[in-house]
Amino acid sequence: MRIGHALIRVGLAALALAAVPLRSAPIDYLPVLAGGYFPILSQATGRNYHIYVRLPQDYALSGEKRYPVVYVLDGDSLFPLLAAMHLFLTIDDKMPEAIVVGIAYGSFEPAINKRGVDFMPPSADVPSAQSGAPAFQRFLKEELLPQVEDRYRADSSRRILFGQSRSGSFAIYSAFTDPDLFWARIASSPGLPPTRDFFYGRIKAAKRTDLRLFVAEGPYDHPRLRVETVPWLANMMSRTDKPWTLTSIVIPEGTHSANSPDVYRAAMRQILGWTKSP
């Protein structure tokens, strides 16, 4: 009986321990995400961001080699997904390696996660306090990019920005307002409303002639978004003032967010190149 009671106590203690949520867990044992981490308090936005970095597998052995760097917005969810995806692309598509940087808030709670402010362009339909895209772009340009390029062997001439949904609209905002800041941008299922007027406005001129913008959507994306994205794309294709090459990507049977890796693969194949497996 004593042994039985002891086993019951041990079992109850184990259950109680399992019920305690982990407040943090190391990612040191996930080599696909290995690289680095640093927090940054932005002077431009006044917010804390968590910066995760995935380094190429050959990084430590590649001497002074510099790599393209992919900045992934909505890093809370997209960084672990796309950082791992890039490794698979180097294996299957023989795609060149890249540094992948995830910009995360550290929570999905609205009080902390301010994607609805940071990625929102100025618009007559949005209160100025909610239009945080200009400040967030200053954070990228003046604070984050210099730190990444100081800490890691990142090629500043081959910066790539990836955004999905609201952060996809920020990628387009950035292409309009500071086209030279990134070599290429990928906007997956961008959320143009409620700021559609901005996206029909002026595009700033660029110094570079090799800039790229990829905009992806699918037939099963949210109808309220497609009804804006499809005609906007048609309009943009006809504009002659674009300082970047615009490429439309349609994902067959694509939905709003589940096809982000497909968009990443389709765009990165065109940006970095790939080799068909035999």
Cβ pair 118, 106 in contact under 8 A: no
Strand (E) positions, 144-205? 154-164, 184-188
pLDDT at 18 over 60: no
Say whether pLDDT at 11 is over 50.
no
Instruction: Report the pLDDT value the prediction gives residue 173, as an integer from 0 to 100.
Output: 97
User: Is the predicted pLDDT of residue 17 greater than 80, yes or no?
Assistant: no
Over residues 224-251, the mean pLDDT reads 96
Whole-number pLDDT of residue 23: 65
Mean pLDDT of 76-94: 97
Q: Model's pTM, two decimal places?
A: 0.91
Domain boundaries, the chain: 36-272
- Is 215:268 a contact under the CB 8 Å cutoff? no
pLDDT for residue 21: 57
DSSP 129: G
Q: What confidence tens digit (pLDDT) does each residue in 140-172 have?
A: 999 999 999 999 999 999 999 999 999 999 999
Gap between the Cα atoms of 83 and 220, Å rounded: 25
In whole numbers, what is the pLDDT of the chain averaged over residues? 92
Of the options 1.10.10.10, 3.40.50.1820, 3.40.30.10, 3.20.20.70, the CATH number for the domain spanning 36-272 = 3.40.50.1820
At residue 69, φ and ψ (nearest 5 deg) are -130, 125
Max Cα distance, the chain (Å): 85
What average pLDDT score do residues 19-47 get? 87
20-40 residues labelled b (16+ CB within 10 A) or e (exposed)? eeeeeeeeeeeeebebeeeee
